[in-house]
Amino acid sequence: MKDKKSSAMLHVLTPFIVTLLVVGAAVLAMIKPSDKLKVYFNLAFMDDLKTDPTTAGSGLVIRQNEIIEDYSGETSSTGDVIRPQFGEMYAHLSGSSLSLTIPVYWGTNPELLEMGACQSGGSKLPGEGGNTVISAHEDTYFSELSSVKPGDTITINTNYGEFVYTVSETISFVRTDKRYLQPTEDSRLTLYTCKKDVLSSSDERIGVVCTLTEAKFYTGGEQ
Amino acid sequence: MKKKSTYIISVILSVFLVFGLLGSAAAVLAYTSVSAGSCISLAKKNSVPAKIQTELSRHYSEKYNSSGIPANVYMDVLSESYLTDVMEVYINSGFDALENDGTFVAAMPKNQALEDSIDKFFNNYADEIGYEKDAAFEKKLNETKSNAYSLIGSYSDVYKLSAMSSHGVLAKLSKLYRHKALLMADALGFTAIILLLLMLVNIRERRTVLYWTGICSVIAGVLGLIPCIWLTATKYYNSFTIKQPQVFTAFTGMLYRLTALMTALLAVLTVAGIILVIIYALTRDKEEKHQQPAPVISENH
């Protein structure tokens, strides 16, 4: 009777013993490749919320901010900039001949270009001195750029100040020509996009160069 | 399972048998379900060509502001059946590459109506604005046609096989795919050898092989079913990052199908294992009853 009982116990316990051994062996075997597999799985299936494909992310952290546009406190013509992070919406761009207020993101990549204008990470922030270079798609945010002409004003609102530029010249260059995108001594704003024309090359760029005419850094005091 | 040594060796062999059964199930699934034909039929079933057409239409409508070419120049002549043909060419070329050395070559089907439509638009545009049809004009015209074929091919390559080829992934996969029959035979052969060894180890109690095979089938089935059911229930593949709807649908459709087939295969394995264990239990009870000594009847008159 005792033998029968212990035999029955063994028959019941054995599957659990085998399962533990199998799982243990699998875990040991996966220790080395698991890191690499984790990277591939994270890249392939990055949206933890398992939403539909139009909202699936790429891993880039995009930060939206409320941009101050009706500041009524004290201002100064000099001040400090607040450096944004890659993927952060840090400014609004508007113009006397633009019907849109365009969000401006720090850094350039295809995902950010779908959401607004992008400032080249290597260029200077408005108010920092030097060349501020901003680009956007010609069929969305910069669709009206070709109608901007010398004398028009462009305003950039950030959370550290408001900067007004006046268009000094319209420009046209090929993609490989970097002269308008280089750092400069003077404070300027360079806006550019692709040229739209059936018979033109897709390598052509058009844009405007603007001179800083007014800088108002927010100092925080009440007027 | 009377001897300790027999028991221990059987447990060790069972661990190998579980891996063997799981590997065999995966190999059989890959051999029978991963092919150009199955990819094409699944894509058609999920209306992928219609999605290709919608996405191309959206692309050309969005690009109108920059290109100046209305979307209907392309879309009026791009039928779903043509896009299906292009999709099939890419899938067949991809699997040809897998069966050879991974070099992807896709011969794009010519669409004369598309070329004529682009010719007509460009010529009309040039006539309207008085543009001289010089060498630059011809170059732009040919570029536009070439870009159109290139874009249609890219959108129709729903399993991204050409991209995989350019990144060297197809070449690596072809080393496995070319030998899928051999790999399946190896997996099944390994499982058969483990079973044979189990039989040899338990030669004095051959019936216990039913028990060991049964529990291994159940363990392999359950261990495989848990992740398969979790993947399906949480719709894990919906978090696939590629945003193009036609690629997303093709890839996730294939992944869900393979997961469903694997679930079915493992369910069969589990049920088979349970049956074997029940047979063992019943035949063991019968044998024990036969072995019980006959009751002694005393003669007292």
Q: Does B215 touch chain A (CB under 8 A)?
A: yes
Does residue A52 lie in a domain region?
A: no
Does residue B202 lie in a domain region?
A: yes
From chain B, the residues in CB contact with A198 under 8 A are 67-69, 122, 125, 140
Q: Does A5 touch chain B (CB under 8 A)?
A: no
Q: Is the pLDDT of residue A189 over 70?
A: yes
Does residue B295 lie in a domain region?
A: no
Same domain, B11 and B61: no
Does residue A8 lie in a domain region?
A: yes
- Two tokens at A40? 């591939």
Q: Is the pLDDT of residue A55 over 50?
A: no
Measured in whole angstroms, the distance separating CA B119 from the mean position of its chain's CA atoms is 41
Q: Hey, what long-range contacts does B194-197 have (CB within 8 A, 24 or more apart)?
A: B194/B13, B194/B16, B194/B17, B194/B20, B195/B17, B197/B13
Amino acid at B108: M
Q: Which of residues 23-62 of A touch B (CB under 8 A)?
A: 23, 25, 43-54, 56-58
Average confidence score pLDDT of chain B = 89
Helices (H) and strands (E) in chain B, counts: 13, 0
**What is the chain B residue with the closest CA to A3?**
B2
Domain boundary among B125, B150, B175: B175
Instruction: Dihedral sign for Cα A136, A137, A143, A149, please.
Output: positive
Give exposure, B86-106, as e/b (b: 16+ Cβ within 10 Å).
bbbbbbbbbbbbbeeebebeb
Of A197 and A188, the one with more pLDDT: A188
Same domain, A183 and A110: yes
Task: Look at residue B114 in the predicted model and tell me its pLDDT.
Answer: 95
Query: How close is the nearest chain A Cα to the Cα of B300, in Å?
Result: 30
Does residue B134 lie in a domain region?
A: yes
Q: Does B65 touch chain A (CB under 8 A)?
A: yes
What is d(CA A65, CA B56) in angstroms, rounded to the nearest whole number? 34
Q: Give the range of the structural domain holding residue B94, as residue numbers without chain letter.
A: 36-175
Give exposure, B192-218, as e/b (b: 16+ Cβ within 10 Å).
eebbebbeebbeeeeebbbbbbbbbbb
Q: Is the pLDDT of residue B208 over 70?
A: yes
Q: Residue range A15-42: average pLDDT?
A: 82
Does residue B65 lie in a domain region?
A: yes
Q: Residue range B161-182: average pLDDT?
A: 85
Give exposure, A84-121, as e/b (b: 16+ Cβ within 10 Å).
beebbbbbbbebeebebebbbbbbbeeebbebbbbbbe
Q: Is the pLDDT of residue B300 over 70?
A: no
Q: Does A220 touch chain B (CB under 8 A)?
A: no
What is d(CA B189, CA B187) in angstroms, rounded to the nearest whole number? 5
Give CA torsion, residues A191, A194, A195, A200, to 10 deg: 150
Say if the Cβ atoms of A44 and B240 lie within 8 Å: yes
Lowest-confidence segment of A42-46, A209-213, B58-62, B130-134 by average pLDDT: A42-46
Say if the Cβ atoms of A198 and B69 lie within 8 Å: yes
From chain A, the residues in CB contact with B210 under 8 A are none
Output the domain CATH number for residue A85. 2.40.260.10
Query: How many domains is chain B partitioned into structurally?
Result: 2
Q: Is the pLDDT of residue A64 over 90?
A: no
Q: What length does chain A have?
A: 223
Same domain, A41 and A83: no
Interval B89-113: pLDDT, tens: 999 999 999 988 878 888 899 999 9
What is d(CA B157, CA B169) in angstroms, rounded to the nearest whole number? 15
Say if the Cβ atoms of B241 and A47 lie within 8 Å: yes
Q: What is the ipTM of this complex?
A: 0.78
Interval B225-244: pLDDT, tens: 999 999 999 988 887 767 68
Query: How close is the nearest chain B Cα to the Cα of A104, in Å?
Result: 21
- Two tokens at B251? 């890839």
**Best to test chain B binding among A10, A12, A16, A19 (most B CBs inside 10 Å):** A19
Does residue B64 lie in a domain region?
A: yes
What is d(CA A98, CA A154) in angstroms, rounded to the nearest whole number? 9
Cα R_g (chain B), whole angstroms: 30
CB A133 within 8 A of CB A210: no
Amino acid at A185: E
Same domain, A22 and A99: no
Task: Look at residue B102 in the predicted model and tell me its pLDDT.
Answer: 78
Say if the Cβ atoms of A56 and B240 lie within 8 Å: yes
What is d(CA B181, CA B109) in angstroms, rounded to the nearest whole number? 32
**Of the candidates B73, B137, B161, the residue with the CA atom closest to the CA atom of residue B111:** B73
Does residue B294 lie in a domain region?
A: no
Does residue A60 lie in a domain region?
A: no
What is d(CA A189, CA A195) in angstroms, rounded to the nearest whole number? 19
Task: Look at residue B209 in the predicted model and tell me its pLDDT.
Answer: 92
- Two tokens at A123? 């260029």
Amino acid at B50: A
Same domain, B138 and B234: no
Interval A106-137: pLDDT, tens: 988 878 888 889 998 889 999 999 999 999 98
The DSSP annotation for B118-137 comes to HHHHHHHHHHHHT----HHH
Q: Does B177 touch chain A (CB under 8 A)?
A: no
What is the number of alpha carbons within 13 Å of residue B162 lying toward its C-beta? 18
Query: How many domains is chain A partitioned into structurally?
Result: 2
Alpha carbon distances (Å) from A96 to A155, A164, A170, A217: 8, 11, 15, 21
Task: Look at residue B298 in the predicted model and tell me its pLDDT.
Answer: 45
What is d(CA B257, CA A50) in angstroms, rounded to the nearest whole number? 18
Q: Does A7 touch chain B (CB under 8 A)?
A: yes
Task: Look at residue B299 in the predicted model and tell me its pLDDT.
Answer: 46
Say if the Cβ atoms of B11 and A21 lie within 8 Å: yes
Q: Give the range of the structural domain holding residue A145, as residue numbers without chain letter.
A: 73-222
Does residue B109 lie in a domain region?
A: yes
**Of the candidates A168, A188, A33, A76, the residue with the CA atom closest to the CA atom of residue A125:** A188
Element (H, E) at B56: helix B48-62
Task: Look at residue B176 in the predicted model and tell me its pLDDT.
Answer: 86
What is d(CA A188, CA A183) in angstroms, rounded to the nearest whole number? 10
Same domain, A121 and A164: yes
